Structure 1
Amino acid sequence: MRTINITLLLLCMSLVSAVAYDTVTGKVTSVIDGNTLEVLGDDNQTYKVMLAGIDCPELTQVFGNHAKLYLQKLTLNKKVTVNITGKDRWGNYLAVVLVKGTDDPRIDLLKEGLAWTSEKNPDPDFEAHRVRAQEKGKGLWKDNNPTPPWTYRREQSMMEAKSS
């Protein structure tokens, strides 16, 4: 009986701990690329956060650095609320980041033509912003057929030398 109580207690503690990090408030201390930033939480922990639902060009792609600079303008040194939605395969947090509690930089990046909606299950509202930017020929949509970052990453990984 005692073992069951301890197991239940540990399970409850792990659930409380997981829930405690669903929302983090803090300040953006670094912008890594167009959809990745670091936030120093009010809890003094640093969180590497990827914006959920969008994908910006890689830094080595056309408009990659432009997307990074635009995200810096929107978020760097600003107070943010980070609503964590999960983790990627590298352990980075996927999140909705809101500046001043309401401003969503993902929408601004899409409207400026500096991001794609995610490859899998794109959000219809986000897709509408992306399509409008494409129709207007904004940002990366100045090119008739820009390479999505997921395609670019796959191509780059195929070009890497394989270890023997």
Structure 2
Amino acid sequence: MLAATLLIAGQRAGAAELYGKVVGVSDGDTITVLDSARTPHRIRLNGIDAPEKRQPYGTRAKEQLAALAFGKLVVVHWNKRDRYRRIVGHVRLAAPAACATPACFHSGDVGLALIESGLAWHYKRYQNGQTAEDRTRYARAEEAARSKRAGLWRDAHPVAPWDYRSNRRADAARTSSTVQVN
């Protein structure tokens, strides 16, 4: 375990590490981790973007993330926070080999597992926060999920979460600028 941790840490030079138990799942790409001091930390999974709650597959992405990580010990490698003050980090199960449920996956990489199941996009906009190896693995996993038509790729034209959010903001701006005449 120590050797694996050192290997992972070596791949993410300058990254801080957070160890804890996943005690909450907000949506398909955000979890809450409780550390050993019982301090909760909101974590945004780096390198992925899952459908929003009101989008098709949004609920399934949240359920899959819960099946993969809820109640499990994880290690988070991170070096930044987003505008919502969430830690943006690479999340791995602390002991993936010990997992004995059907939702288990061998790599222990939670974000990669969501992409492989077709429930998240590789979020290329923020891929600079990933190692070169992770960028490659995430991009290949998305290509494979698309070709297998896994999860959201079953839809003829799935809408990426960043486009969905942008469209909702534009709709809200149009609605607020419309003057109602009675």
Please tell me whether residue 125 in structure 1 is matched to residue 125 in structure 2: no
Please tell me whether residue 109 in structure 1 is matched to residue 114 in structure 2: yes
- TM-score normalized by structure 1? 0.82
Please tell me whether residue 52 in structure 1 is matched to residue 46 in structure 2: yes
Aligned partner of 2:55 in structure 1 is 61
Q: Tell me the alpha carbon deviations over residues 105-135 of structure 1, each in whole angstroms, 9 at most, x when there is no partner.
A: 1111111100001141542220100000000
Aligned partner of 2:88 in structure 1 is 94
Give the fraction of aligned pairs with identical amino acids, expressed as a percent: 31
2:171 is aligned, of 131, 144, 159, to 159
Deviation at 1:92, TM superposition (A): 0.9
101-110 or 135-144, which deviates more: 101-110
Secondary structure of the structure 1 residue equivalent to 2:125:
coil
Uncovered stretches (5+) of structure 2, i.e. residues with no partner: 1-14, 97-107, 128-134, 178-182
Please tell me whether residue 134 in structure 1 is matched to residue 146 in structure 2: yes
Secondary structure of the structure 2 residue equivalent to 1:80:
strand
Pairs aligned (count): 144
Max radius of gyration: which structure? 1
61-70 or 21-30, which deviates more: 21-30
- TM-score normalized by structure 2? 0.74
Deviation at 1:87, TM superposition (A): 1.0
Secondary structure of the structure 2 residue equivalent to 1:25:
strand
Secondary structure of the structure 2 residue equivalent to 1:82:
strand
CA RMSD of aligned residues (A): 1.8
Paired AA for residue 61 in structure 1: Q
Aligned partner of 1:27 in structure 2 is 21
Aligned partner of 1:72 in structure 2 is 66
2:32 is aligned, of 23, 33, 38, to 38
Q: Structure 1 residue runs of 4+, over 4 Å off? A: none
